[in-house]
């Protein structure tokens, strides 16, 4: 009986020890920021807006952590690089101030004003890289791979999804021989002019999609017809008709033809 009472006392003592301990504090990681773009490189071409001399790019920034009851400022810095093709701060672009994550939000944006300069019109592409700064509001690094972002600026810039003439490598729609064919600055400028919409001030600069039937938007066929008719109306000599001829200095001075393309 005495032994049984000792067991009961021991059990109650252990229970009291564990029951009286304070709950351990939960681990809480600091908040951080990361760029919310699909890739670590962003390209902007003034070709989409032929009449714009400047524009504003809004780059999404996300919070890895919690929202706050108050607005939280944050900062970015330029990654120092030198050499040909590096954009000049104040000439090609300007990072606009008042960067912040609004109260009760977990996303914001970096606004960058970009300028259409003479060297871009002449065919040059420039780039710059920005990096998120850690501070008292966002001390953590968040997603390491998305702390920096490189922005490419250009006027006439070949779209990444253009493709090639025979269609055997990527199979993209635009570059295939039955459509626009080989990309050149001169040919691209004609396409942009033909598809320009004066009511919106925009034109069509990219044609993503496979060349195979059912794997590209049907409106591409209409775009192709518009460009072909634009060339025929303005440069009938390109199709063997009486009138002006537009040749391509970027490709052996051949006359430009599309749908099908002659090069």
The secondary structure of 109-155 as a DSSP string is: EEEEEEE--HHHHTT--EEEEEEEEP-SS--B--SGGGSEEEEEEES
Task: For the chain, give the mean pLDDT.
Answer: 90
pLDDT of res. 25:
46
Angle at the Cα of 115 from the Cα atoms of 110 and 120, rounded to 5 degrees: 125
Based on the domain organization, do 37 and 148 belong to the same domain?
Answer: yes
Based on the domain organization, do 144 and 183 belong to the same domain?
Answer: no
Contact 36, 61 (CB under 8 A): yes
Domain end, chosen from 134, 154, 174, is at 154
Q: Which of 220, 248, 245 is closest to 232 using CA atoms? A: 245
Q: Which of 85, 81, 42, 87 is closest to 60 using CA atoms? A: 42
What tens digit of pLDDT does each residue of 202-247 get?
A: 999 999 999 999 999 999 999 999 999 999 999 999 999 999 999 9
* Structural domain total, the chain: 2
**Structural tokens at position 57:** 């790019």
What tens digit of pLDDT does each residue of 46-60 get?
A: 999 988 999 999 999
In a domain, 4, yes or no: no
Domain end, chosen from 96, 124, 154, is at 154
Based on the domain organization, do 100 and 52 belong to the same domain?
Answer: yes
User: Does the pTM of the predicted model rise above 0.75?
Assistant: no
Helix, strand, coil tally for the chain in percent (to 5):
20, 25, 50
- Tell me if residue 240 falls in helix, strand or coil: coil
Residue 28: band (very low, low, confident or very high) from pLDDT cuts 50, 70, 90: low
In a domain, 198, yes or no: yes
Domain end, chosen from 113, 134, 154, is at 154
Which residues, including other chains, have CB under 8 Å from residue 187's CB and lie 6 or more apart?
180, 181, 248, 250, 251, 256, 258
- Residue ranges making up the domain that contains 141: 32-154
| CATH number where 78 lies | 2.60.40.1740
Residue 23: band (very low, low, confident or very high) from pLDDT cuts 50, 70, 90: very low
What tens digit of pLDDT does each residue of 168-205 get?
A: 999 999 999 999 999 999 999 999 999 999 999 999 99
Asked whether the predicted pLDDT for residue 163 surpasses 90, the reply is: yes
- Portion of the chain with pLDDT greater than 90, in percent: 83
pLDDT of res. 83:
83
Based on the domain organization, do 135 and 36 belong to the same domain?
Answer: yes
In a domain, 254, yes or no: yes
């Amino acid at each position: 009986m005495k032994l049984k009472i000792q067991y009961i006392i021991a059990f109650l003592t252990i229970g009291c020890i564990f029951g009286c301990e304070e709950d351990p504090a939960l681990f809480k990681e600091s908040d951080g920021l990361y760029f919310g773009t699909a890739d670590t490189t962003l390209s902007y071409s003034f070709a989409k807006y032929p009449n714009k001399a400047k524009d504003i790019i809004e780059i999404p920034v996300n919070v890895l952590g919690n929202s706050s009851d108050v607005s939280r400022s944050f900062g970015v810095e330029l990654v120092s690089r030198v050499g040909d093709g590096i954009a000049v701060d104040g000439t090609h672009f300007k990072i606009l101030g008042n960067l912040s994550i609004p109260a009760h939000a977990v996303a914001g944006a970096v606004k960058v004003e970009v300028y259409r300069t003479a060297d871009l019109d002449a065919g040059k592409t420039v780039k710059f890289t920005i990096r998120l700064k850690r501070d008292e509001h966002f001390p953590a690094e968040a997603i390491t791979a998305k702390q920096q972002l490189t922005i490419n600026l250009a006027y006439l810039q070949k779209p990444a999804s253009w493709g090639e003439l025979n269609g055997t490598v990527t199979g993209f729609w635009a570059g295939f021989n039955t459509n626009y064919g080989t990309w050149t600055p001169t040919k691209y400028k004609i396409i942009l002019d033909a598809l320009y919409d004066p009511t919106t001030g925009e034109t069509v600069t990219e044609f993503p999609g496979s060349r195979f039937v059912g794997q590209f938007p049907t409106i591409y066929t209409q775009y192709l017809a518009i460009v072909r008719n634009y060339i025929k109306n303005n440069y009938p000599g390109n199709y063997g008709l009486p009138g002006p001829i537009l040749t391509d200095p970027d490709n052996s001075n051949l006359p430009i033809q599309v749908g099908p393309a002659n090069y």
